[in-house]
Amino acid sequence: MSTNSTPQLESLEGIVERITFHSDESGYTVARFKVPRTPDLVTIIGNFAQIEAGQTLKLSGIWRDHPKFGQQFQVTQYRETKPATLTGMEKYLGSGLIKGVGPVTAKRIVAHFGLETLDVIENQIERLLEVPGIAHKRVKMIQSAWEKQKAIKEVMVFLQGHGVSTTYAVKIFKQYGDAAIAKVTENPYQLAADIYGIGFVTADTLARNLGIEPGSEFRYRAGIVHVLGEAAEDGHCFLPFEELVEQTVKRLAIDDHQPQKNAIARLIQQMGQLNELVLESSPDQLLCYKPSFFQTEQNLAQRLRQQLTSPVTVDLPRVRRWLLRFREKTGIELSEQQQQAVEIAASERVLVLTGGPGCGKTFTTRTIVALWKAMGFSIALAAPTGRAAQRLSEMTGQPASTLHRLLEFDPKTFGFKHDESNPMEADAIVVDEASMLDLFLAYSLMKAVKPEAQLLLVGDIDQLPSVGPGNVLRDLIVSQCVPVARLTQVFRQAQASQIVTNAHQINLGKYPQLESVSLTPRSDCLWLGAPEPDYGVQGIMELLTDVIPQLGFNPTTDVQVLSPSTRGVVGTRNLNQVLQNLLNPPSASKAEVVRGGTILRVGDRLIQRVNDYQREVFNGDLGVIVAIDNEEQEIRVQFDQRQVTYDYADLLEVDLAWAVTIHKSQGSEYPVVVLPLFPQHYLMLSRNLLYTGLTRAKRLAVIVGPKKAVAMAVNQVKDQKRYTGLAWRLSGKVLR
């Protein structure tokens, strides 16, 4: 005798009270649901393409008991119905559905029109003037937003029916307009190329839902390009042929389909013949480039070689006499290495100045700038990030800007105004934090340098390489074609800092000297033992609420938590939620908005995740939310000296920054750095990661975790091997 154990499906109907968690990528949602005539809210879980507070939903699913969270309703199917209650209408209208209608305006409208509210907005929108506080301008805004919602409804229904979330559906409509359905149906894989946040996985799921076969050439081509794109995210400019084949086969394999290596190999060769890829023969293997990467790398090498071969006329004895007077005037002695660096900068078109902390890069740079100024040069100073530019300005006493502002982005062409046809007027250019230069930014810079100008690239070769593709600073040094001044002598005053001393110890593969945390530390480099990540989170909280304030620092403005990873208990995602609740808790006086399961609140620290040339904010820039307008559906963020406004639809560009990854911290310095390191990070731990994180601290660094994790980082030499060809292109080797 057998029994049927399949749970019985049940139905629930009610209103979404609030979203606890929602993933834009998968649609997985945890929400609180109000069922009429039921006193307590119900927890619902399931995958929702679109869900907002205030929606009235009819759900099908099963009840289940979660060991930690209690009874939950697991949703298997759902559909939206128009809100039938006044409360439902208020939440529906005030949820952000219509620009110009926030919670306050929604309450007024529903109070006036009651259950006829939606019919009035649909058919008699001019009657909104009857509502106190709503003027003609607001009615026009609401009418425009409502019509836009109607226009995209067909697109939204189509996309949500194929598993695309609301956020991405709006972005797709903004990208393609009325042609959205036709574009998506014709080639869903184009979404991954055109729309930030939609990756190959989402496009592939959509393609499968639209009936595109898993073995189609369409899918294979998209997969090959996607694998090269993933490689670029890891810093590579190309992939060897065999590696591209292997990774593509692995990426395209699904339960009911396994691609054949020869089919992928043949298609890569074919894409090379059609110039969709560039295949280049080296002595050992075949290299596979995206065309833009190949052309940029080749052209960058060519521009650098041209610059390097242009002679500089300089009177070196006169430079040395100036240096003598400069030393007498400032009262500061230059080391032999520093003096050589200044002389090379005076006599070469391009110079790389590198060295660790405390070795005098700052004073050497300042001296070179003073020399160039004395020679009558017009000088431009820049760095990849706003904070690094500000620091460069402070140390030289001259104005400095980000590279993007120096090159002047043109929103009409989505390129820079300064290039080979319109070079910068500067006779001499200094770029600090040059380890952050990726392939494309380096090429944009070189195109804008006039042939008779001189260029100084300052950077620490032992830091992590750029977030973007390439390893430009290292390649310039390795090529042995570019003059390099390497500063290695640590000055006595810098030796007083344990941060500086430990950074050099780490580079030598030696365990750093760490003093246990106390309220009377003798060192600026401390350690807080924590055996497990959970204890680490608790330790970080205690540091921020107790120890660090007693040491004279403000935890909300002076401290930056840097983690090796986004994942895990001490990854940035979890730490951001913990630290947000600790340092910027909810308050009736602070507006907030929920997007993608993340709460953004006035006072929160944010990081820009992508380059946004229209707003002139760039990957890694840090800001603070100063205002949230639920009526206009906008947030305002203070970046350095200016404010930037984001529409709610663009909030995927930013993320909380109470904790950021070490990689994202490049080019920045903070008064205090808290650095959690645990064996669970072992895949990420490396010598240059620890070195980079530690050297972000100006006055105090605190490592949190077991000493075993610190030892793992010191002992793992991961040179971040990247597939790049700039070094051998500079040296004149032609592989084709």
**Could you give all domains of the chain from N- to C-terminal order, each with its CATH number?**
10-80 (2.40.50.140), 217-289 (1.10.10.10), 303-493 (3.40.50.300), 504-715 (3.40.50.300)
CA distances from residue 38 to 42, 57, 388, 463 in whole angstroms, order as listed: 9, 16, 56, 58
Please report, as a single letter, which amino acid is at residue 54. Answer: G
Inter-residue contact 566 to 572 (CB < 8 Å): yes
Cα gap 419→729, rounded to integer Å: 22
Residue 444 in tokens: 């944009």
Residue 288, annotated as binding a ligand: no
Residue 597, annotated as binding a ligand: no
User: Rg of the Cα trace of the chain?
Assistant: 29
Q: Which residues have a Cβ under 8 Å from the Cβ of 315 and sit 6 or more positions away?
A: none
What is residue 97's predicted lDDT score, i.e. its pLDDT?
Answer: 65
Q: Please provide the distance, in angstroms rounded to a whole number, between the alpha carbons at the two ends of the chain.
A: 74
Burial class (CB in 10 A: 0-12, 13-18, 19+), 425: exposed
Please report, as a single letter, which amino acid is at residue 10. Answer: E
Beta strand pairing status for 697-704 and 670-676?
parallel
The DSSP symbol for 617 reads B
Cα gap 559→700, rounded to integer Å: 9
Please report, as a single letter, which amino acid is at residue 724. Answer: T
What is residue 25's predicted lDDT score, i.e. its pLDDT?
Answer: 55
Inter-residue contact 205 to 222 (CB < 8 Å): no
43 strand-pairing partners: 32
What is residue 112's predicted lDDT score, i.e. its pLDDT?
Answer: 92
Interhelix angle 687-694/707-715, nearest 10 degrees: 120
Residue 307 in tokens: 């610059």
Place of tokens 């073995």: 215
Residue 716 in tokens: 């793992």
- Its pTM stands at 0.75
Give the DSSP per-residue string, 573-591. Answer: HHHHHHHHHHHS---TTS-
What is residue 736's predicted lDDT score, i.e. its pLDDT?
Answer: 44
Please report, as a single letter, which amino acid is at residue 674. Answer: V
Inter-residue contact 151 to 109 (CB < 8 Å): no
What is residue 166's predicted lDDT score, i.e. its pLDDT?
Answer: 57
Inter-residue contact 514 to 526 (CB < 8 Å): yes
Q: Give the model confidence (pLDDT) of 149-160 as tens digits.
A: 666 666 766 776
Cα gap 736→461, rounded to integer Å: 30
**Quick one: residue 231, left, alpha or beta (phi over 0 = left, psi -120 to 50 = alpha)?**
alpha
Q: Which helix (H) or strand (E) holds 527?
A: strand 525-528
Q: Note the Cα 61 to chain centre separation in Å.
A: 38
The DSSP symbol for 198 reads -
Q: Which residues have a Cβ under 8 Å from the Cβ of 597 and sit 6 or more positions away?
A: 19, 20, 21, 22, 23
Q: Give the model confidence (pLDDT) of 64-101 as tens digits.
A: 877 767 788 988 877 777 666 677 777 777 766 677 78
Residue 360, annotated as binding a ligand: yes
Q: Which residues of the chain have pLDDT under 70?
A: 1-7, 23-27, 49-50, 68, 82-85, 95-97, 149-154, 156-157, 160-161, 163-167, 170, 492-494, 596, 718-720, 733-736
Residue 362, annotated as binding a ligand: yes
b/e burial code for range 291-320 (CB count within 10 A of at least 16 → b)? eebbebbbebbebbbebeeeeeeeeeeebe
Inter-residue contact 565 to 684 (CB < 8 Å): yes
Residue 361, annotated as binding a ligand: yes
CA distances from residue 404 to 361, 413, 475, 617, 728 in whole angstroms, order as listed: 23, 14, 22, 9, 28
SS3 586: coil
Farthest CA pair distance, the chain:
104
> For every residue of 60-109, which 3-state class applies, written as one string?
EEEEEEECCCEEEEEEEEEEEECCCCHHHHHHHHHHHHCCCCCHHHHHHH
**Quick one: residue 390, left, alpha or beta (phi over 0 = left, psi -120 to 50 = alpha)?**
alpha
What is residue 218's predicted lDDT score, i.e. its pLDDT?
Answer: 83
Cα gap 555→622, rounded to integer Å: 16
Closest CA to 606 of 569, 635, 647: 635
Please report, as a single letter, which amino acid is at residue 227. Answer: V
In 592-632 the beta strands, taken as DSSP E runs, fall at 592-595, 598-601, 605-608, 622-629
For 210-240, where are the alpha helices, taking DSSP H only? 217-233
